[in-house]
Amino acid sequence: MDKLISLQQVHKTYKIKGGLIRALNGVDFEVEQGEFVALVGPSGSGKSTLINMITGIDRPTNGEVYVAGQRLTHMNEDQVAEWRGKNVGVVFQFFQLLPSLTVIENVIMPMTYAGTYKNGRRERAMELLELVDLVDIADKYPSQVSGGQQQRAAIARALANDPPLIVGDEPTGNLDSVSSGLMFSLFEDLVAQGKTMVMVTHDKDLAGKVPRVQEVRDGRLLGGEEINRRLVGASAGR
């Protein structure tokens, strides 16, 4: 398989009043196209920073980031935004639908920014909403629908421009277990259709179902065997 994501010796340091925080410390990370990867780890370990490196939301202090054939470290903010709009679908923990737009308008929004589907944006949006079973609430505002529906709408939005990569930062973190299970099934379906999925999660049960789990700790990636052992141990101890 081709490498869709390649992080090479990525360091990220934040300056704060008290000194420096090393969020990532020489991370090498590769993801093949069509992989489903879960990033796990305690709070402050660097998971979200790593995800932000992949989406181009944040820049490394050192190292290189290649995603979908692009060297993100040499692109400016607008170039990254344009690239991200076409190549990465981002799903946030708190859904982050724009409250001033209806559900379908939220889905149309990325197409407008990317200039895609100029003659059939609404139709495309309806297809995606059908995919996530939200056709009935297409014209409702986010505040009028449930959290689970909002998150599914967020996934539809992430798929708007048919990106090869879907990135989720705790996409099920704010959902109940039923909604969470449905959401995960949706992710599995997307991967089955050829999308690449990288998500951060604290949910060990969920992580246990993901083919590849990568733990982040103190800004470093731990080896895959140790993680699997922990996950198995965690399941057995329950």
Task: Tell me which residues touch another protein (CB under 8 A).
Answer: 14, 48, 52, 55, 57-59, 77-78, 81-82, 84-86, 90, 92, 94-102, 105, 108-110, 112-114, 139, 141-144, 150, 157-158, 160-161
Could you identify the residue written with the tokens 């992949």? 54
- Torsion angle defined by CA atoms of residues 121, 126, 131 and 134, in that order, rounded to the nearest 10 degrees: 130
In angstroms, what is the minimal distance from the CB of 68 to another protein? 14
Separation between Cα atoms, residue 168 and residue 29, nearest integer Å: 17
> Of 87 and 201, which CB lies nearer to another protein in the complex structure?
87
In angstroms, what is the minimal distance from the CB of 1 to another protein? 26
> Of 68 and 231, which CB lies nearer to another protein in the complex structure?
68
In angstroms, what is the minimal distance from the CB of 90 to another protein? 5
Separation between Cα atoms, residue 56 and residue 58, nearest integer Å: 5
> Of 14 and 224, which CB lies nearer to another protein in the complex structure?
14
Strand 88-91 and strand 212-217: pairing? unpaired
In angstroms, what is the minimal distance from the CB of 235 to another protein? 32
List, in order, residues 6 or more apart from 192 with CB less than 8 Å away.
none
Are residues 234 and 40 in contact, defined by beta-carbon separation less than 8 angstroms?
no
> Of 102 and 179, which CB lies nearer to another protein in the complex structure?
102
